[in-house]
Amino acid sequence: MNKNNLEDSSRLRLQWYSYEDRMFFTAGIGFYNGSYGDYSLKLNMGRGKLYLRPVSFEDGQTRFRVEEVKQENGRVTKEVVGFGLMDETTKGKIHIKIGGYSDLLILG
């Protein structure tokens, strides 16, 4: 997301929920990009750029995929690294699972 798009985006809090500790921990921030209908996620850890993109809406449930974008040897690569879900049980928040992390990432 470039600087000009930041004015058009909503800033949302990201939190990890630890099932083991039953606690929430700060994870970073997310920005909604109305032009593309997706989210740019900035986590407090060493990952490439993460994007949360809607892939389907069915029976009141929105499903998302998480893509990590990296630059390697001058080439941009995208990899699907997780998924997200929003429905009435998540109360307007998006619950995200990213491969390699046992905790639940919550946007909103």
Q: Where are the domains of the chain?
A: 3-107
Tens-place pLDDT, residues 36-88: 889 999 988 777 789 999 999 999 999 999 999 988 889 999 999 999 999 99
What separation in angstroms does the CA of 51 have from each of 10, 43, 75, 84, 96?
14, 11, 18, 11, 12
61-72 and 94-98 beta bridge pairing: unpaired
CA distance linking residue 66 with residue 79, whole number of Å: 8
The pTM assigned to this predicted structure is 0.82
Place of tokens 């996620």: 41
| Amino acid 9: pLDDT | 55
Mean pLDDT for all residues in the chain: 87
